[in-house]
Amino acid sequence: QTELNNCISMLVAGNDRIQTIISQLEDSCQSTEENSEVAKRELCARFDALAALLEEKKAELLQRISQEQADKTAFIQSLICQYKEQLEKSSRLVETAVQAAEESEGAAFLMGTGTPTSVLSLSRIVEASKGGRLDKIEQGYESMDAFSVSLEHLTEAVHALDFDPAEEDEEYFDGEEEEMEE
């Protein structure tokens, strides 16, 4: 009887230890879930901050491209206006020259022997035929190749992202599992 009571006491004590271990494991499970949620929130916050930084940088670079586009198109538009003005002057000069050539004294007019108020002279026609001395754009001026961005190194860095090994959770054992096996 005593031996049976001792065995029962040992079983009860063993059951108490097992219940204590189960409670500790349940607490560990709960802590693991809570810590995982915290880690997930922190990870999301860091990635959100990185995404915001990338969006900010993208907006900055897009603004620089837009500014360059505006500068170049403004310059080209000013050249277009200058060339249109030159074309208009040249066209008027052509009309005047054609009229002068049709007049009976056209040759005398072109030689400078016409009236002093005449606006047409041979030197003026020759100068106008050269197309003026207007600015031109260099070949490839419209190219935006200077705004090419290589993201290969960043892509590699993103692919290499991982948790720091020193900060990873390791499995911890209190040695109680060994007792359970006995």
Residue 95 has pLDDT above 80, yes or no: yes
Which runs of consecutive H residues, i.e. helices, occur in the chain?
2-102, 106-110, 122-129, 152-160, 176-181
Q: Do residues 86 and 136 lie in contact, with contact meaning Cβ atoms separated by under 8 Å?
A: no
Q: List CB contacts of 146: < 8 A, sequence separation 6 or more.
A: none
pLDDT tens per residue, range 113-161: 554 445 556 666 666 666 667 788 999 999 999 999 999 999 999 999 9
pLDDT tens per residue, range 29-58: 999 999 999 999 999 999 999 999 999 999
- CA 50 to chain centroid, in Å, comes to 13
Averaged pLDDT, 82-110? 78
Can you tell me the distance from the alpha carbon of 135 to that of 107, in angstroms, rounded to the nearest whole number? 34
- pTM of the predicted model, to two decimals? 0.63
Determine what percent of the chain is predicted with pLDDT higher than 90: 58
Give pLDDT, residue 116: 43
- R_g of the chain computed on alpha carbons: 45
Residue 14 has pLDDT above 90, yes or no: yes
Which of 164, 144, 133, 124 is closest to 67 using CA atoms?
A: 144
